[in-house]
Amino acid sequence: MSTPRATRIHEAPRIDSVDPVDRSDRRRWWQLLLGIVLFVVAEVVAMAVTRLGTAVSGGSSAEGPAAWALLLGACVGAAVALGGFLVIVGPIGRSPGLALRGRGKAAELGLGLAIGAALISLSVGLIALLGGYRVTGFAESPQLLVPLAIGIGAGVIEEVLFRGILLRVLEAWMGSWAALAITSVLFGLVHLTNDGASILTALGLVIEAGVLLGAAYLLTRRLWLAIGIHIAWNAVQAGMFSSTVSGTGAQHGLLVAEVDGPTWLTGGSMGIEGSLISVLLGLGVGIVLLVLASRRGHLLPSVRAERGVQS
C-alpha cells in the first residue's frame, strides 16, 4: 500500500532530526592526544600533496603552489581528517560516528554554507556602506580554486580538531560553557601565527569564529553545520570579494575592489574577517545559535556532574 504524499513530506528528514546527545564515548585522553596528532598529519599530508602536485606540473615552491594542486591537497587533507576522526571516535572512543551520524547531514552542511556566505556578504555590505570597500569592476580571470582550497582545508581540518575533538572532549570533562570558552581562545591563539596577526585580531577570531562555530556544533551536536559555515566564510571572502583570509595573502576573486579605511573597519592585513563589523555579526549569530542550543537542552554540565544529578 503506497504512503500518501502528505505523509511522505511530513516524515522527510529535517535539520533538527538528529540523534539525542551521546556522551557515552570512552578513552577521552587518547582521543584528545590522537586528535592533535591527526590535525598535524592532515596538515602535513595536505602540504605534501600540494608540493608534489606543483612539482609535477613543472612549478616551484618559489613561484607558489599551483592552484589545482592546492585544492587537491586541501581535499586529501580533509579526507584524512574525517577518516581519522571516525577511527578516533569509533574503535578508540567506542562510539562509532559520533558528531557525524544521523539524518539531515547534507541539509546541515547546506545550511552552514548559506549562513557562512550570508554572514560574510552582509559584513562586506556594511563595510561598503561605511566607505571601507568599493567595487571597481569584475576580474577577467578570477582565481577561484585557491579560495575553495582555503575553505575546504581549514573548514574541515580545523573543525575536526577544534569542535570534533577539543570541544567535545573538554565538554565531557568541564561542561559546555567552559569548553566553548577554552576552544574559542585556542582557536584565536592558533591564528596568531598567520601573517599580519595580532592580539586584537586573535581576540576577534575568538569572539566571532570561536563562538560562532562552537555554537554551531553545540546546536546540532554534529560537525556539518560548523564545517559548512567555515568553508563558505573563507571561500566567499576570498573567491567573491577578493579579500585575504586570516592574513594568508592577496586573493583575486570575482570582484575587483578598493579597500580603504581604518583597520577596525576593513580588517587590515587579516582581511574582512578582521573587521569589527564581522566580529559583531559573527558574535550575534553565535549567540542566537547558543540560545537555540539551550532551548534544545544541548548546553550541558560535565559528564560527572550530569551523573551526579541523575543519581
Task: Write the secondary structure of 123-150 as one string of H (helix), E (strand) and C (coil).
Answer: HHHHHHHCCCEEEEEECCCCCCHHHHHH
> Is residue 75 in a domain?
no
> Is residue 72 in a domain?
no
Structural domain for 279, as ranges: 102-310
10-residue mean pLDDT profile of the chain (311 residues): values are 39 43 91 97 97 84 82 98 96 88 90 97 97 94 93 96 97 96 91 72 82 96 97 96 83 92 90 92 96 96 77 51
Give the chain's domain count: 1
> Is residue 65 in a domain?
no
> Is residue 74 in a domain?
no
In whole angstroms, give the CA distance from residue 165 to residue 141: 39
> Is residue 93 in a domain?
no
In whole angstroms, give the CA distance from residue 127 to residue 265: 7
Evaluate whether 168 touches 91 at the Cβ level (below 8 Å): no
Which residues lie below 8 Å from residue 291, measured CB to CB, with a gap of 6+? none
> Is residue 241 in a domain?
yes
Q: What is the DSSP letter of 12?
A: S
- pLDDT, residue 5, reads 39
- pLDDT, residue 61, reads 59
pTM of the model: 0.90
> Is residue 196 in a domain?
yes
Identify the CA nearest to 86 among candidates 188, 164, 17, 186. Answer: 164
> Is residue 152 in a domain?
yes
- pLDDT, residue 63, reads 66
Radius of gyration of the chain (CA): 20
- pLDDT, residue 4, reads 41
- pLDDT, residue 108, reads 96
- pLDDT, residue 12, reads 38
- Per the listing, cell 559528564 goes with 303
